[in-house]
Amino acid sequence: MLTHELAANVAVPNDLEAFWMPFTSNKHFKQEPRLIARAKDMHFTAVDGRQILDATAGLWCCNAGHGRPKIVEAVQRQVADLDFAPSFQFAHPKAFELASRLAALFPGDLDHAFFTNSGSESVDTALKIALAYHRVRGEGTRTRLIGRERGYHGVGFGGISVGGMVKNRMWFGSLLTGVDHLPHTLDIQKNAFSKGLPEHGAELADELEKLVALHDASNIAAVIVEPVAGSIGVYPPPKGYLERLRAITEKHGILLIFDEVITGYGRLGKGSAAEYFGVQPDLVTTAKGLTSGVVPMGAVMARKHIHDTIVGAQADPKVIELFHGYTYSAHPLACAAALATLDTYQEEGLFERAAELAPYWQEALHSLRDAPNVIDIRNIGLMGAVEMSPYPGKPGHRAYDAMCKAFHDFDIMIRITGDTIAMSPPLIVTKAQIDEIMEKVRGVIEAVA
């Protein structure tokens, strides 16, 4: 294949055709590619040698920053020592070590970890565990799953069924049956420019009572929500909302699943959103920050009673209790990366750092309020979103142009969803870099005005 060398000293193929890129406008990307060669700490290096400030932790995942020595070394060592070991009927020690570390990290009795390779797999796993749990208890009629409008739970059939982003669902047929959705919680009219949790909207959790009245609790297995909706453009929950959802689910014996693929591992300044909000879910889905994005991995945390019910139901110790798992569940490289990532978070106090920086991040972000076309700003922890009004008749184009200009002209990586710019810097970000992010984003917003 023909290649040419660019400033970052990396070979770039001349033919970009064969890679069918995920969640990307392939045609436009290939006309004007945004190619990355390297990454270190808070920066990517583009193939032309430019340093790009990472305001998104990659895709909300590189919470420890890039090229962190401890993680890099752990993965290098692991690949030489044990490249693969099966987790079906065999195992390797680091899998157990990691599960114990996670059991200690997540609150309450969320003390068993089921390993996956992505957030999507974590979501499917949690939904299946919820169904199996009720069935084992003799409540096999509890099969209905409840998600939320505008929710993102990955791209498996389970995840898009309980998810609520129309474009992710509308192409793919009938999806899972027996799924309902709670209303989303964004109310710009009442809550625009809220700092942190919005005042209005806790009562939206009561919509669950209507679904219970419609179907009867005896038919409902689980409710799954992102404690802070991420992908859709950072919707922090209204004050009291999650507590209400927990109270209603508990009252009716419905499991509550927090999808913490984004909020887990320090994004809110705690190990989990469950801990941050002091609300105890029954299952937690995670991925991304678990390995700081270095090796794909996810984990579902299950409360003791859920694990014990399913595993304990099988009287014969030689019989498999749950017919579920992936070839790469607890992959040695992923376990090594995760252990070193958790060490890095701990040794550098990165969760505490995120908590300390959150007020600074909030004020810096809200300083963009007077930038042109900005209609809302939302923040929590080290997550932030700036929502812009769309170009007339062309929804999504203003943010798309912003993302392209950000990369090519302002040397910064931002995420977009609809006409919202979303940001989630690595937790190693400095105050000076937060200022730099906001200065660049202001420039970008002005450039698309």
Give the binding site for ligand PXG (CB under 6 A). Answer: 59-60, 118-120, 123, 152-154, 226, 230-231, 259, 261-262, 287, 415, 417
User: Pairing state of beta strands 51-54 and 412-413?
Assistant: parallel
Please list the alpha-helical segments (H only) found in 90-200.
Answer: 93-105, 119-136, 157-162, 166-169, 188-191
* Between 47 and 126, CB nearer to ligand PXG: 126
Give the nearest distance from C-beta 153 to ligand PXG in angstroms.
5
Give the nearest distance from C-beta 31 to ligand PXG in angstroms.
22
364, 435 in Cβ contact below 8 A?
yes
414, 402 in Cβ contact below 8 A?
yes
The CB-nearest residue to ligand PXG is 119
Query: 82 vs 90, 99, 296, 333, CA distance in Å?
Result: 14, 18, 17, 8
Give the nearest distance from C-beta 244 to ligand PXG in angstroms.
20
Q: Return the amino acid letter for 116.
A: T
Burial class of residue 252, CB neighbours in 10 A (0-12, 13-18, 19+): middle
* Between 120 and 212, CB nearer to ligand PXG: 120
- Tell me how far apart the alpha carbons of residues 26 and 30 are, in angstroms, rounded to a whole number: 6
* Between 114 and 136, CB nearer to ligand PXG: 114
Give the nearest distance from C-beta 130 to ligand PXG in angstroms.
15
Give the nearest distance from C-beta 273 to ligand PXG in angstroms.
10
Query: 42 vs 143, 358, 366, CA distance in Å?
Result: 44, 17, 22
E strands in 200-306: 220-225, 255-259, 283-286, 298-303
* Between 78 and 120, CB nearer to ligand PXG: 120
* Between 78 and 231, CB nearer to ligand PXG: 231
* Between 123 and 350, CB nearer to ligand PXG: 123
Give the nearest distance from C-beta 1 to ligand PXG in angstroms.
28
